[in-house]
Amino acid sequence: MSILCLELKRVLKTPVTLILLLSCLLISLIMSYLPISYVHYNYLDSNGQNVTIAGAKAIDLKKRIMVQGPITSDKIQKAIKNYQEVTNKYGNIYADTVPQNTYNKKILPVEYIINRLTAIYSDKKSGVTADLNKISPYSTGENFYKKYPEQIKDSLVQPSAQEQALNLYEKVNKPFEYIYGYGSSDASDYLVILIFLLVIIFTFITASIFSSEYQTGSDSILRCTKHGRGKLAASKIISAILICGITFTICIFIFVMIENNTFGWESLKTSLQSINGICLPALNVGQAQKITIAAGMLTMLAVVSFNLFLSSRCKNTTNSLILSMVFFLLPLILSAISSNNITNWIQSILPSAGAELASGFYYELTKLNFLSIGSFNFWSPYVMVTAEIIAVPLFLILTVLCYCKHRSW
């Protein structure tokens, strides 16, 4: 414990580390503010002037006008009728000619249903967007939940992937639930961005844990002491995980409390299927939030473990930091340059896969992305979590072994 306490003091007294940890708190506050500030509600007052309300007041106003609760056939029929009424008169629900108050009355309360209908009735194979003016409100209201699994099958090619996807969807509660709030905003995206930024900062903190002492030569003295090998390595590892883990928990707690209190805790009951196009897991928004945070914590541990391993192998801080950043950004780079099965496998098993912006855990949770090996298919979130669970103990053990066997050059 004395070695661990000394190691914690050593890391925390470093000016750069203190600045980075304080920046984590600042970033969490900024990320908490932005989703709330971007909520707007526009209307025309009695004088015909356009009025814009933003922030918490806009959230409260939208809660009052949105059609909420189970998405029943009656609500679906109403949404289509409103859509067809506006488009027949103005051509497009988003046209500049649509009066703001008409939009607020006819479209805004059921806009989320219109978006779901567009996704479900679009042709996935040809890429043709659905024309909701050509469908019957009555038949659509009855067939909405029958059409959903058909779109899942059309989106996947291999039969085994189709079977797995349909098995996941069968567990979803129907009718879908919708309550305006957290899921209706960009808060989930900003949670992903927050996790991404936190893990980057932790990469800067942990990349030099071992290599900085290699660079100064102090490790040659420390490893000659009574507790200078295995126990010192374990203390360094535990201190790094404690610092990153506690900071991550505090920052995420700040974000969650601000967002959920502002948007309303009751909005967490919204089904994922109510706010995403075609979605498989039987989760509501609150459950998805918890799983995303848990996956973010696991990703952080995997990245920190891998960074410590690289630090134990590199003779200076520059090399360890460069390698750590390259491997952290590699899934993001791979997703940008290619989308074939091999590339998807590589980016899914890398330690930082769950925290990436374009293809992180939360986004894969809401996609129909299956990775194949021959005739076998695996849902990408399962692959990510499994790889990270294996990565944490593997790289921690390798870190201790590499540090104990390290020799100065």
Residue range 130-172, pLDDT digits in tens: 778 887 777 776 688 888 888 888 888 788 889 999 999 999 9
pLDDT at 156: 84
Helices 159-170 & 137-155, crossing angle to 10 degrees?
Answer: 130
What are the boundaries of each domain within the chain? 2-37+181-404, 72-156
pLDDT at 144: 83
Task: Encode pLDDT of 330-350 as tens digits.
Answer: 988 888 887 788 998 999 999
Query: Residue holding tokens 């029929």?
Result: 77
pLDDT at 409: 42
Contact 312, 406 (CB under 8 A): yes
Q: Which residue positions in the chain have pLDDT lower than 70?
A: 1, 124-127, 141-142, 214-230, 406-409
pLDDT at 408: 46
- φ, ψ dihedrals at 300, nearest 5°: -60, -45
Model pTM? 0.90
